[in-house]
Chain A
Amino acid sequence: MSPSSKPTTEPDKVRVRLYRFDPATDQAPRYESYEVPYTPRMRIMDVLDHVHETLAVDFGYRWLCGTKKCGTCAVNVNGTPKLACWDAAEPEMTIEPLSNLPLVRDLVTSRDPFEASLASLSPMLVRKAEYAGFPEPLSAQDMAPTAHLRDCIQCLACQSVCPVLRQPDSGFAGPALLVALSELAQDPRDGADRARLADEVAQVFKCVSCYECERVCPTEIPIVSEAIEPLKRLAHSAGRSAGARRTRAFLDVVKARGYANAALVALKTNGFSLHGLRLALRLLPRGKLNLADAFLKRSPPGAAAIRKTYESNGQSSENPE
């Protein structure tokens, strides 16, 4: 932030609207408004503490460490997930529980579904060989790919904004679980079948790549490129899900032709189906399906040069370093 955009005066008070709801006793949620005296460098948590200690003793919120380690204090502030212990108080705040998670009471959401999903992913090192004893032969280079992933404090801010998790029964594990799985999958000591867990249990190919998770991550983890994409890399060649099949179909079509053809990718992914036919009949009259291109023009001009260039580098899935 440039110096000129800083407020010249700090507020003398903070106006806060708090979400209140106890599903055990209340008919419906309500909001309670409070004014809290502003103190320099005030955090969201300081505001919540003040309300709890002086204004509403029965108000429910949660924190343990207060220092961005435990991941229990994330709440929605003016619609965006924030860590109460780490982010600055704003002059006007509407504070609500993280969305898309079961509510316990007021700002407290349940971590139970997350913990249960985590348990289904063998969230511990499953060694390929017996522990060799200390010191383990493990280099900084071995651990580099997961360096950022180990910053995850499992605050569930990402889970609360993931649009796929908002769909009922999506089966998708969500970004925080994929970070945990990816950390193990990329650990050279681990020998569990992480490819199968990623494809079938965590269902990584249901990620829509919207980067909403990265937008709200308080520890700024590149979740898509460093957790989710490495899992797709691991799982795409043998994966049995429709998403894994679609990835293979896309790669086959583009490597053969130099560009994607929607009809061919769809056919290779799902085979022939009435559903696909219905969609095709919807698109054909509008000129949106180029069937001649798909089935007659087998070797588009220039495809060979493109293929050659790709293949000279494409087979290596490692970093260029």
Chain B
Amino acid sequence: MTRKYAYFPGCSAKATCRELDTSTQAVAGLFDIELTELENPGCTGAREFRAVSEMLHLTANGRILAQAERLGCDLVAVCDTCLLNLTETNHRLKTDAAARDAVNRALASEHLAFKGERAVKHFLWVLTEDLGEEALRARVVRPLRGLKVAPFYGCHIQRPSTAYGATPPDQAPALDRLCRLLGAEVVQYEGANKCCGFHVIGAEEKIAVRMSGGHLGNAKTNGAQCIVTPCPLCHTVFDAYQPSIEREFQRAYQVPVLHVSQLAGLAFGLSAADVSLSRHVVGCDSILAHIGGSGSPAAAAAE
């Protein structure tokens, strides 16, 4: 059965982190998931729309939600910050009739309307919840045996609790569980649930570099061979700014940073090229060497 979703890649996955788009589509293809990319969806406004104008925030996000509803599908995001903006707007417009009417008046010129019929999901949750862990486990052809992975969640996939509810204390978070079922070893370290500092890095680089450098150092000290994150903004800080972090802390890290769909894709048998692993600032050769080269999983399995 084909699972169909409306797909909002966001600005990072279409530019700075195009490898996120490539690998997400590649993994979706393995599971008969159809991601229909929205046409000219615009922007969720990062942290800026919501700060300067509540109506701009609700309209921009309501427009994206209405586009997904027109396709008749749940909406999939691959960026933590987009996910939060869309999740909060979806909830607000479902429960606040005055806000919904105001947004729908603005959307009328494009013959769009928010009705409140669809859910917003991160692609990580499509994997772990919609497909389920059994289906994922069955697809692992190149287990990431012995690979020490440090999950980095990012803030906006888990906070605030008004958007996501309180974390169930007796349940390991989704990304930890995914890493384990892919065969990897989850590195416990201080910082996995903390902030990378992305939202000030364009103006206050030193603050962000020092914040993320602390987490990166903890991950490295605890043996991490790579970081994996569901957020392209966190990815940009840890990967693109890693040379800046190294300079600030006077320490060589060289920790590759993978998107969730890249790490999962490798375990599901996709090649390094399939998940676009060469588009990183910090090279991923050490990961490929560990899991058995960039060749076919059959060769890796024969080892």
Contacts and interface: CB of A to CB of B under 8 A. Distances in A.
Interface of A: 163-164, 166-167, 170, 172, 205-212, 214-215, 222, 224-225, 228-229, 232-233, 236, 241-243, 245-247, 250-251, 254, 258-262, 265-266, 269-270, 279, 282-283, 286-290, 293, 300-303, 305-306, 308-310, 312-321
A321 B50 contact: no
Contact of A306 (B40, B204, B206): B40
B15 A290 contact: yes
B159 A210 contact: yes
Given A233-B51, A288-B16, A306-B42, A215 B203 contact: no
B96 A320 contact: yes
B207 interface: yes
Contacts of A305: 40, 110
Contacts of A288: 15-17, 240, 279, 281
B198 to A, nearest CB: 8
10 contacts: A167-B206, A207-B200, A254-B43, A270-B203, A287-B18, A302-B40, A310-B42, A310-B59, A313-B106, A320-B96
B220 interface: no
A222 B107 CA distance: 29
A262 B99 CA distance: 31
Which of A243, A245, A303 is most buried by chain B, counting CB atoms within 10 A of its CB?
A243
Interface string B88-120: 000000001011001101110110000000000
Given A208-B199, A214-B160, A279-B240, 9 more contacts: A206-B200, A206-B207, A211-B156, A212-B194, A241-B203, A245-B203, A246-B203, A283-B281, A315-B53
A306 B45 CA distance: 12
Which of B39, B50, B52 is most buried by chain A, counting CB atoms within 10 A of its CB?
B52
B20 to A, nearest CB: 11
B33 interface: no
Contact of B195 (A163, A262, A269, A317): A163
Contacts of A250: 46, 48
Contact of B202 (A269, A301, A306): A269
Interface in B57-88: 58-60, 63
A246 to B, nearest CB: 4
Given A206-B200, A233-B53, A287-B279, A309 B207 contact: no
A315 B54 CA distance: 10
